[in-house]
Amino acid sequence: DIQLTQSPSFLSASVGDRVTITCRASQGVSSYLAWYQQKPGKAPEVLIYTASTLQSGVPSRFSGSGSGTEFTLTISSLQPEDFATYYCQQLNNYPLTFGGGTKVEVK
Amino acid sequence: QVQLQESGPGLVKPSQTLSLTCTVSGDSISSGSYYWSWIRQPAGKGLEWIGRIYTGEITNYNPSLKSRVTISIDMSKKQFSLRLNSVTAADTAVYYCARDHGFWFDPWGQGTQVTVSS
């Protein structure tokens, strides 16, 4: 199985901060990586797919980059509604796997 | 707008079979354009992909669950289903269904809590 390691696991930030989350894969996944946002009691929602494609309707402050084994999700200016948990997912190899999550909390 | 809704028992006894159904509205489940996936999330923990099905009933399962899992599809009812045999407390989780684009999942159902307990 491909292991996805997200860092940090927890992040304290303030509104307006630039936030970067990293996802490292144990082997190459090409560009077949997606990012999701999950709020408490809700299902995850896709933000980014194929590493850098912004899902329709997602604010442009979210961006993704990377390929192979290292990927990043960046929030250019954190908004109140962005405090949530973020997961990466690889869809290059079976079984499909998710990272352990990064919880973005209010500083 | 596509919507997915999970349904099924919220409580299952150990060693029995967990059965859930996902009903799709606003899209054709038989179009051949998508996979349809199941994912689960134990309380306070991360996400685990269970498996996916494609029209024509092509399936792929997580090897960690493969011996116990069956995913099926009923195109006439616009539903796909999950069966997980021989459940234990470790199978207690929120179970989600999702439309699977191959390289991302969207949308997801709201999720349904399943507790394994006697």
pLDDT tens, position by position, A42-81: 999 999 999 999 999 999 999 999 999 999 999 999 999 9
Cβ contacts of B5 within 8 Å, gap of 6 or more: B22, B23, B25, B109, B110
Residue pLDDT tens, chain B, 118 long? 899 999 999 999 999 999 999 999 998 887 878 999 999 999 999 999 999 999 767 999 999 998 999 999 998 999 999 999 999 999 999 999 999 999 999 999 999 999 999 9
Shortest distance between the Cα of B13 and any Cα of chain A, in A, equals 24
Phi, psi of B54 (to 5 degrees): -120, 155
Tell me if chain B has a CB within 8 Å of the CB of A45. yes
- pLDDT at residue B57, as a whole number: 74
Lowest mean pLDDT among A2-6, A14-18, A64-68, B57-61: B57-61
Question: Reduced to 3 states, what is the DSSP secondary structure of residue A57?
Answer: coil
Distance CA A91, CA A72 (A): 16
A53: DSSP letter: E
Mean confidence (pLDDT) of chain B: 95
Of all residues in chain A, the percent with pLDDT exceeding 90 is: 98
Contacts of A101 in chain B (CB under 8 A): 46-47
Distance CA B66, CA B14 (A): 18
Mean pLDDT of all residues in A32-40: 98
Interface of B with A (CB under 8 A): 37, 46-49, 52, 60-64, 96, 98, 101-111
A34 closest CA partner among B105, B46, B36: B105
- pLDDT at residue B28, as a whole number: 80
Task: State yes or no: cis peptide before A44, omega within 30 of 0.
Answer: no
A43 → chain B, closest CA residue = B110
- pLDDT at residue B31, as a whole number: 80
Task: State yes or no: cis peptide before A59, omega within 30 of 0.
Answer: no
Residue of A96, A97, A98, A103 to mutate for B, most B C-beta atoms under 10 A: A96
